[in-house]
Structure formats: structure tokens, C-alpha cells
């Protein structure tokens, strides 16, 4: 007799933030789960390494508390008391213009006074509320959208460096509808970015989002989720085959040199695009289309963590970090002032910097060996921050396939996910290739996946 779906656990493929959030939400709802993660530990790209007084991140460095939901989630998993908000002294966001660091304005008066934008650009902004909105079904690049509404200078010195820092991408290739849906919605709903931002601010009482981490880095988040799930999470478990059966699903995985097959009521896939494309399905012809996910661009990125004696860095490092506009023609995407953001990232009398290289802008630079990257970072930070001499601490993290690029036409990939799900009730897809690339997006994606099961 085939097993009853009501008695079976839900299979979660992938132990990154999306998959662990989905599993945790299901467990909270009383639904049994089994998480399969090929790596030896949780978190995916989220990993934090402590080496004495140094602490570095392999992937994301911060999480934005942009809503009450994020705060409540952190509290619910037991990390509320360990939350570290970014230091008040790290509020400056620097952008390079003319080879110099200029703090982005944070107030209307600061905007009028800033040297970041010319008076022509500032005066041009006054006309933004009266510029026509694009058709609701238009497919427009981020660059075209920004130039149309704000002008070229805002693209070059505000949006381009931001896109380079968030996506390691190119605003000329990213879709505003899919890559920045909130920006797209502001124009569609209010006819103006300025009017929309003002109305939202008045409704909410003002922006309250703060960035935070934890004393031992962002990895505390997936570690806490995995610990709460206990032996429901299987590490070193590589899924071999997924197949529909009579009223349930079968998942075959390899772990510890042995292969076994289990029965599940549903399957939630929370993997990166390239891993989803490689998943093997049997008895589900529609899933063959998942191979198309290999076409999603995921450019290489290198993160270089470097530590210096405080006296060897001339800049006060009184900010979040610096972002690099492409028009400046430098070799880095940006640098985070890691030890200015949070305590415990560097020994006393030292500073920690995290610099990013590559992306869509310069993928060839990621092919440099460690010595070449060391020289590149030393030269760039020497010019920009007044860094002298060699770092006293150094670590290189390479990602061959980093952030998925939500390029023009990305809607076809979202439609692909929906089509496969429609052909296979009980199979669901989430993660940064579908629901957005930020950590907040990943948490929301995990919640959506769990709701797809509990509401079925």
C-alpha cells in the first residue's frame, strides 16, 4: 500500500537561508521536514570565519531590518539578543568621484550642498514628478529607467555604483521590473519616484531600516536555524533523483557513501540556478526545461578581506564603505569598512576591509592569482584610502558563479518555474533565482515555500 501523503515529511532541497527558513516555518506549523544539503554545513554562501580577533564573511556581510517581519523572525529563532546594529559612526556611504571619496547626502540640505552631483543634475531632479510613466507592460533596463526619470549623472554616480555593489552587475543589462521591482512599482503606482517615496515615508512614519549582523557574523543565522531543526537536516546529502509517485514524491540521495530513497508529501527546491538546472527528475517531462536555468548569468566575484594597522590607513573609515562608479575606471567594485560597521572584526589597533572585484564589469580580474589580487587591492586602496604597506591579515574568497543577474527578459525564467510547478503539484521552487537576491528576499522566499505547503 502506498504511503499516505499526510503521514510523510516535506523534503527541502538546499540548506541555505531559503531552505532552512522554509523548513523552520514548516516545523513551527507542526509539519515534519527533511532537509538535504550537499555541503558539510548550513548557510550556502553565508559563512563567517573567526581567526583569533579577525572575523571575515565569505558572502553577504549585513542584513537589512527593513520590516517588522525581519525583526520578528530574528527574535523567534532566538537571536534577538545577539543582534548587532551597525555603528552610528558608519552611516556615511561613500562614492568615488574624480578619484575622491564623497559621502552620499542623507538629507535635502545635504543634497543641495553635496559635490556628488552638479547643479544641472540637481535642478533637473525638480522635473521628475512631471515626467510620464512607462507603459505597465514595458520591459526597460535599469539604466534607461534612471536616465529617463533622473538623468545621466544620477545613473553614473548613484545607481551604477549601487548596482555594482548589490548585483556586481550592469544597469544597462538589468531589468528594472525584475531586478528592482520596488523602484518599478513606485513609478507605476505614483507616476513619480519622488512622489512615491514621499507618500510611502508619510504612511510608514519614515524609513526605519537598519543593517545588522551578529557577534560571530551572519553565519549565526543559518546555524541557529539548522540547530533548531536538529537531525532533520542532513549534511553531505547530495540529491540524485526526484520522481513523482502515486500520491507522494520520492527523493534519492547519496550520503556517507550510501544511497537511499525516501518518500515525501512535497518537495521544496531552494537551490542556486546552476544547481537547479543540474537536478535530475524522472517521470516529469516538464522538468527538462529547468536546464534553461543555465542561461541565467552568474558572473564571478572575488571577495578580499584585508587587515591593516590603524596607523597605516589615512582615511578615517567613518562609514559603511565605498562604492565605485564604472565611469571612474577603477579595478574594484567597492570596499566595506568591516571593522567600522561592527565590533569584533579586527584586533585592537587594526582595521578590517572587505573589497570586491570582478562581476559583470570586470570578470577577467577574478582570474588573477592571489598575489595579483593582493597587489591590485593594495594599489587601489592606497590611492583611495591612503593605505600604506602590506596587510597584516589576508584572505581571498572566490565565487565562480555569484549573484544571479535579473537581466532584460528575466520574466521567462519566472514563467518557467511556474510552468514546472503547474505540471507537478507538490513541487515548489524558491531562492535567489526566483524571489530576489537579498537575504531579506531569501527569508521571504522560504516563508512563501512553507505557505505553499501549509495552504495546500
C-alpha grid cell, residue 404: 544571479
3-class DSSP state for residue 5? helix
Rounded Cα–Cα distance for residues 50 and 268 (Å): 32
Domains of the chain (ranges; CATH) run 5-46+220-297+406-454 (3.50.50.60), 48-88+298-399 (3.90.660.20), 117-129+139-205 (1.10.3110.10)
What pTM does this model have?
0.94
Rounded Cα–Cα distance for residues 444 and 450 (Å): 10
The pLDDT tens digits of the residues spanning 130-163 come to 999 999 998 999 999 999 999 999 999 999 999 9
Q: Which residues does 393 contact at the CB level (< 8 Å), separation at least 6?
A: 51, 54, 305, 306, 307, 346, 350, 352
Q: Which residues does 180 contact at the CB level (< 8 Å), separation at least 6?
A: 142, 174
Rounded Cα–Cα distance for residues 207 and 92 (Å): 16
The pLDDT tens digits of the residues spanning 241-287 come to 999 998 899 999 999 889 999 999 999 999 999 999 999 999 999 99
DSSP annotation string for 225-266: HHHHHGGGEEET-EEEEEEEETTEEEEEEEETTEEEEEEESE
41-45, 107-111, 253-257: which has the highest mean pLDDT?
A: 41-45
Which of 395-398's residues contact partners 24+ apart within 8 Å by CB, and which partners?
395/49, 395/56, 395/304, 395/305, 396/302, 396/303, 396/304, 396/305, 396/370, 397/56, 397/58, 397/59, 397/302, 397/303, 397/304, 397/305, 398/300, 398/302, 398/366
Amino acid at each position: 500500500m502506498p504511503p499516505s501523503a499526510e503521514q510523510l515529511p516535506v523534503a527541502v532541497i538546499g540548506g541555505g537561508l531559503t531552505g532552512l527558513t522554509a523548513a523552520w516555518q514548516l516545523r513551527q506549523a507542526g509539519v515534519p521536514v527533511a532537509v538535504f544539503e550537499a555541503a558539510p554545513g548550513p548557510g550556502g554562501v553565508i559563512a563567517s570565519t573567526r581567526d583569533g580577533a579577525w572575523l571575515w564573511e565569505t558572502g553577504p556581510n549585513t542584513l537589512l531590518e527593513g520590516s517588522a517581519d525581519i525583526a520578528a523572525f530574528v527574535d523567534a529563532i532566538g537571536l534577538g539578543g545577539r543582534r548587532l546594529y551597525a555603528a552610528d559612526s558608519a552611516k556615511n556611504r561613500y562614492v568615488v568621484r574624480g578619484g575622491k571619496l564623497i559621502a552620499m547626502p542623507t538629507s535635502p540640505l545635504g543634497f543641495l550642498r553635496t559635490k556628488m552631483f552638479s547643479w544641472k543634475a540637481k535642478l533637473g531632479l525638480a522635473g521628475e514628478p512631471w515626467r510620464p510613466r512607462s507603459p505597465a507592460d514595458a520591459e526597460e533596463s535599469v539604466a534607461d529607467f534612471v536616465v529617463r526619470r533622473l538623468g545621466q549623472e544620477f545613473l553614473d554616480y548613484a545607481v551604477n555604483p549601487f548596482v555594482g555593489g548589490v548585483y556586481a552587475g550592469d544597469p544597462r543589462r538589468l531589468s528594472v521590473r525584475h531586478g528592482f521591482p520596488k523602484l518599478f512599482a513606485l513609478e507605476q503606482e505614483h507616476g513619480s519616484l519622488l512622489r512615491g517615496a514621499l507618500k510611502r515615508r508619510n504612511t510608514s512614519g519614515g524609513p526605519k531600516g537598519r543593517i545588522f549582523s551578529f557577534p560571530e557574523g551572519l553565519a549565526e543565522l543559518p546555524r541557529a536555524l539548522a540547530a533548531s531543526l536538529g537531525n532533520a537536516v542532513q549534511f553531505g546529502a547530495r540529491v540524485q533523483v526526484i520522481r513523482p509517485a502515486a500520491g507522494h514524491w520520492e527523493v534519492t540521495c547519496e550520503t556517507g557513501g550510501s544511497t537511499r530513497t525516501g518518500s515525501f508529501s512535497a518537495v521544496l527546491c531552494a537551490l542556486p540556478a546552476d544547481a537547479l538546472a543540474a537536478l535530475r527528475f524522472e517521470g516529469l517531462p516538464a522538468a527538462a526545461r529547468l536546464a534553461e536555468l543555465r542561461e541565467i548569468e552568474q558572473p564571478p566575484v572575488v571577495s578580499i578581506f584585508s587587515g591593516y594597522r590603524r596607523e597605516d590607513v589615512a582615511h578615517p573609515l567613518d562609514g559603511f564603505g565605498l562604492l565605485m562608479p564604472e565611469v571612474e575606471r577603477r579595478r574594484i567594485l567597492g570596499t566595506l569598512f568591516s571593522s567600522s560597521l561592527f565590533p569584533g572584526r579586527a584586533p585592537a589597533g587594526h582595521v578590517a576591509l572587505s573589497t570586491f572585484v570582478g562581476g559583470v564589469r570586470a570578470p577577467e580580474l577574478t582570474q588573477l592569482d592571489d598575489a595579483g589580487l593582493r597587489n591590485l587591492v593594495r594599489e587601489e586602496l592606497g590611492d583611495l584610502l591612503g593605505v600604506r604597506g602590506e596587510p597584516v591579515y589576508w584572505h581571498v574568497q572566490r565565487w565562480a558563479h555569484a549573484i544571479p543577474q535579473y537581466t532584460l527578459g528575466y520574466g521567462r525564467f519566472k514563467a518557467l518555474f511556474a510552468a514546472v510547478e503547474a505540471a507537478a503539484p507538490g513541487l515548489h521552487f524558491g531562492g535567489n533565482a526566483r524571489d530576489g537576491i537579498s537575504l531579506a528576499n531569501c527569508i521571504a522566499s522560504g516563508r512563501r515555500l512553507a505557505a505553499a505547503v501549509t495552504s495546500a
